[in-house]
Amino acid sequence: MRATLMYGAGDVRVETVPDARLIEPTDALVRITRACICGSDLWPYRKMPATDSGRRMGHEFIGVVDAVGRDVRTVRRGDLVVAPFVWSDGTCVFCREGLQTSCLHGGGWGSPDVDGGQGEAVRVPQADGTLVVLPVGRDDVLMPSLLTLSDVMGTGHHAALAARVEPGKTVAVVGDGAVGLCGVIAARRLGAEQIIMLGRHADRITLAREFGATDIVRERGDEAIERVRELTGDLGAHSVLECVGYEESVRTALSITRAGGAVGRVGVPQDPSIPLAKESFFDNITIGGGPAPVRAYIEELLPDVLEGRIQPGRVFDRVTNLEGVPDGYRAMNDRKSIKVMVEP
Ligand SMILES: [Zn+2]
């Protein structure tokens, strides 16, 4: 079968690899119908040292179950399923608490013997705990929005929860990528009154406004901090969603948080420390977040997608096939595309 491998920074190839297959009795074999490229795939795309063997890519997908192991109970051959960006057993102490990203028996896509999502098929470990059956046909018009439940919509929701968004609150979103835009959707869904988006690209701003952003801050650095302060009566925002991961963006996030407020971090940290330790301490700012347990959120967000109350699939502005994946990485890295959908 064909699948995507990254060999180093800027070096993405689509190659023929061994066919995905069942190994454990708890596995499912899923033939992928939709996948995508993630903003977090761009970190290795910029930094990964060159290798000879390459690394299988992709952690967001929807597909049709082709076969299941003898111990699988909740999914059957022919089911259309969505997978979260990590797999999990659904039964351990952390899964029962809704923190499937810390599953004692879980792991990531693209690790040895587990395929990546940017390919034709995937071996899904712990299929009962991992997969969620979708009650629609495989080419349903809602497919882009359903696909965001595998990562970006759940991650935006996690940022909003970690930042303690509630009805009436003022929210600021740092990062205008797909996750930041989904963070706007999540903040509005949770009842935020004012939603300030920090971003400067016209297409992203337009989408942010349609998703519910009330104010746009195009400035950067200290000017952006000043502008948010103006918009919030010099107090800062109650809830700040940090959807980038650079030290500079975390600094901005902490600088625009109101005393007693909270920052929800979902941008994968690219630096070893969190800035402004003293300032945030004296302002009683809560710093939360981490990888989103999107498996826990799929069931919560799915009705809103199915009934059209949220349309996170609008973050996809480019569609390609498997052979076009390397171009898709380039487009996202050059910020020519917000998010690329892959139809193998
Ligand atoms: Zn678990």
Neighbours of 299 (CB within 10 A): 10
- Would you state the pLDDT for residue 284? 98
| Three-state secondary-structure class, residue 227 | helix
- Would you state the pLDDT for residue 112? 81
Rounded CA-CA distance 94/189 in Å is 26
Task: Mark whether 178 and 188 lie in a shared domain.
Answer: yes
CA 242 to ligand 1 center in whole angstroms? 27
CA 296 to ligand 1 center in whole angstroms? 11
Task: Mark whether 25 and 122 lie in a shared domain.
Answer: yes
Task: Mark whether 175 and 313 lie in a shared domain.
Answer: no
CA 269 to ligand 1 center in whole angstroms? 24
Answer with the one of 255, 272, 289 that is the final residue of a domain. 289
CA 148 to ligand 1 center in whole angstroms? 22
What are the phi and psi torsion angles at 107 (to 5°)?
180, -175
Task: Mark whether 41 and 73 lie in a shared domain.
Answer: yes
CA 96 to ligand 1 center in whole angstroms? 7
CA 234 to ligand 1 center in whole angstroms? 44
CA 87 to ligand 1 center in whole angstroms? 9
Query: If you search the block for the tokens 């071996």, which residue do you land on?
Result: 123
What are the phi and psi torsion angles at 263 (to 5°)?
-110, 130
CA 99 to ligand 1 center in whole angstroms? 8
CATH of the domain at 246: 3.40.50.720
- Would you state the pLDDT for residue 255? 98
Count structural domains, the chain: 2
Task: Please state the length of the chain.
Answer: 344
Task: Mark whether 285 and 245 lie in a shared domain.
Answer: yes
Task: Mark whether 235 and 279 lie in a shared domain.
Answer: yes
Task: Mark whether 116 and 99 lie in a shared domain.
Answer: yes
Query: Using an 8 Å Cβ cutoff, are 339 and 316 in contact?
Result: yes
Query: Using an 8 Å Cβ cutoff, are 62 and 143 in contact?
Result: yes
Task: Mark whether 10 and 132 lie in a shared domain.
Answer: yes
DSSP string for residues in 130-195: H-EE-SS-TT-TTHHHHHGGGTHHHHHHHHHHHTT--TT-EEEEE--SHHHHHHHHHHHHTT-SEE
CA 282 to ligand 1 center in whole angstroms? 37
Task: Mark whether 283 and 166 lie in a shared domain.
Answer: yes
Task: Mark whether 64 and 163 lie in a shared domain.
Answer: no
- Per residue of the chain (344 residues), what is the pLDDT tens digit? 999 999 999 999 999 999 999 999 999 999 999 999 999 999 999 999 999 999 999 999 999 999 999 999 999 999 999 999 999 999 999 999 999 999 999 999 998 889 999 999 999 999 999 999 999 999 999 999 999 999 999 999 999 999 999 999 999 999 999 999 999 999 999 999 999 999 999 999 999 999 999 999 999 999 999 999 999 999 999 999 999 999 999 999 999 999 999 999 999 998 889 999 999 999 999 999 999 999 999 999 999 999 999 999 999 999 999 999 999 999 999 999 999 999 98
Q: 305-325 b/e with 16+ CB inside 10 Å = b? A: beeeebbbbbbbbbebebebb
- Would you state the pLDDT for residue 24? 98
CA 50 to ligand 1 center in whole angstroms? 33
Task: Mark whether 164 and 193 lie in a shared domain.
Answer: yes
Nearest one of 181, 220, 196, 195 to 337, comparing CA atoms: 181
Task: Mark whether 160 and 145 lie in a shared domain.
Answer: no
Question: Residue 70 belongs to what domain range?
Answer: 2-151+293-342
The structure tokens listed for 318 are 């480019």
Rounded CA-CA distance 148/60 in Å is 8
CA 274 to ligand 1 center in whole angstroms? 29
Neighbours of 221 (CB within 10 A): 11
CATH of the domain at 136: 3.90.180.10
Answer with the one of 248, 273, 289 that is the final residue of a domain. 289
